[in-house]
Structure 1
Amino acid sequence: MSQTATASKASTVEALRKRTYNIRRHALRMGEVQGQGYVGQALGIADVLAVSYFHALKIDPKNPEWEERDRFLLSIGHYAIALYAALIEAGVISEDEIEDYGSDDSILPMSGMAAYTPGMEITGGSLGHGLGIGVGMALGLKRKQSTSRIFNLLSDGELNEGSTWEAVASAAHWKLDNLIAIVDVNDQQADDKSSMVLNYEPIADKWTAFGWETYRVDGNDLEAVLEAFDSALASNSDKPRVIICDTLMGCGVPFLERRDKTHFIRVDENEWSLALKELDDVYGIQSGEK
């Protein structure tokens, strides 16, 4: 790689790192408003959302329903706080909406609903249906000869659902090279660790066997996520793509990283300010710089 290319890549990574900080901070602020929320997942998936919204996706923040946009589908509806944080950072949603998160008549309900929120393409629940919707959308775009892509974020727990694997098979059958699935592997779901409820390994081999072009990365290694997205976007294969991202719930806030992992991480009232301070410290942000 030339010095110019290296410098350009470093600049891109640094710009995305600032986005990850802001996404994590927006999510924590929303959590503080309600005193709860799936902040563990939001912190864990922030790097992936930063690369998605500020590097990969073709969108118009001023016109979320622009026909030529790429569509980002949140199959895991309870991750809404994470997507809201990305949409706020992207300028699709005003930062002022944070103060109304989860309240009556808010455009940011605690579980994502397309009818309420600009930029929310689908209502992601019950779980296991997002990828099927994505297959339908991708096939429709193909038949319209559109160059737009579908990105679908789903969870390791959704791999328990038979409908997910029907969608995986269908996407390969229809050669949907305009579909990119993103799997968040944090090994947590409501009943237990995902791997204990129903073991999903060897996860990459399964997707490959179904006919997908498969990538697996540390989802909290920003540079690795960036490279995986670039490879998926640049590929000339007629296969759909999947980027499997191993993430750590609570990433970016050390005391939450260390906390016993459950589907819903508890954060006490006095800990929200501590979480924001630790996030600032991790990113080297001084008071007044935000």
Structure 2
Amino acid sequence: MLSDARINELKRFAGEIRMETLKAISHVPSGHLGGALSMAEVLSVLYGEQLKCDPENPKWEDRDWLVLSKGHCGPGLYAALALKGFFPMEMLETLNKPHTDLPSHADRNHTPGIDMCTGSLGQGASTAAGVAMGMKMDGNPNYTYLILGDGELDEGQVWEMALFANTKHLDNLIAFVDYNKLQIDGRTDNDDVCNLGDIAAKFASFGWYAQTVNGHEVAEINEAIENAKKNTGCPSVIVLDTIKGYGWSKTAGQVGSHSRGVSPEDLAEALAEIQAAMPPEGK
């Protein structure tokens, strides 16, 4: 169980991830903001507490792997990696610019700390299962973490992966669904596009160990990961109940937050709002 002080540190880390994401996107006309902001807490818990990695050696053979299947939300992951020390903070200012090493979608050939090229939705699910299978075959005790978007669950490939991962007993695969209820064309919890229904129950019907938590509470996320690590014999999924664009009132819960620009005025407003919501340092 995390101490109160550690919980506050992780909350601050999540706030810093949001602020650096907004700063990075402010340097380009637009960026995938909403889904990057909604996953800040899970990134904070992974890179602040759970995921085994070495910023000095991103290709360390004994690391855990993270596959951001919703690769268009790379700005959030880039912010976490920079804050963790995988590359200099000023590199975030090059997001989406010509010849950048921080492209719009996650690319392992460009960015230190990115384990898999992603962005064609659904494919990251399959590659994550492949990585987990390879670890099993090699006797590697580490974990593969997978982050899926809720709109991404419209892809049949995700469910093919779900069937495969349970058949192969990939208990070293821990997936997260960022259930922020919005995709680019509408809501995911009604009939706007495809109503997802009970996501945890769907994965459970495929043989997965399934949990649902408040995706903006770091303690709940951390406890769910600990529970998943105790699970044996099947893969795990943690459904993160989140709000798209969370942290900034102008984007929270808004369809238009999927991809948008951040003006200097927007940036000042958003940073002040996020900073005010963060626990005091050292508390």
Q: Percent identity?
A: 34
Aligned to 1:215: 211
> Matches of 1:260 and 1:173 in 2, distance apart?
37
Compute the displacement of 1:29 (Å): 0.8
> Matches of 1:154 and 1:32 in 2, distance apart?
25
Aligned to 1:16: 10
Aligned to 1:282: 277
Q: Deviations over 1:9-44 (max 9, x none)?
A: 212211211211211111011011114212222221
Aligned 8 A contact 2:37 2:245 in 1: yes
* TM-score of the aligned structures, taking structure 1 as reference length: 0.91
Aligned to 2:19: 25
Aligned 8 A contact 1:35 1:269 in 2: no
Q: Which runs of 5+ in 1 are unaligned?
A: none
Asked if 1:270 corresponds to 2:269, the answer is no
> Matches of 2:110 and 2:253 in 1, distance apart?
35
Aligned to 1:71: 65
Q: Larger RCO: Structure 1 or Structure 2 (Cα < 8 Å, ≥ 6 residues apart)?
A: 2
Aligned 8 A contact 1:74 1:153 in 2: yes
Aligned to 1:62: 56
Compute the displacement of 1:250 (Å): 2.1
SS of 2:259's equivalent in the other structure is coil
Aligned 8 A contact 1:42 1:79 in 2: yes
Q: Deviations over 1:118-148 (max 9, x none)?
A: 1111121210111111111111110100011
Aligned 8 A contact 1:188 1:194 in 2: yes
Match 2:188 to one of 194, 212, 216: 194
Which structure shows the bigger proportion of residues in helix conformation? 1
Q: How many residues align?
A: 280
Q: Larger deviation: 177-186 or 94-103?
A: 94-103
Q: Deviations over 1:218-239 (max 9, x none)?
A: 1012221121112112x14211
* TM-score of the aligned structures, taking structure 2 as reference length: 0.93
CA RMSD in angstroms comes to: 1.9
Q: Which runs of 5+ in 2 are unaligned?
A: none
Q: Deviations over 1:67-108 (max 9, x none)?
A: 010000011111000110111111112101022222111111
Structure 1 residues 261 and 34, CA gap change in structure 2 (3 angstroms): closer
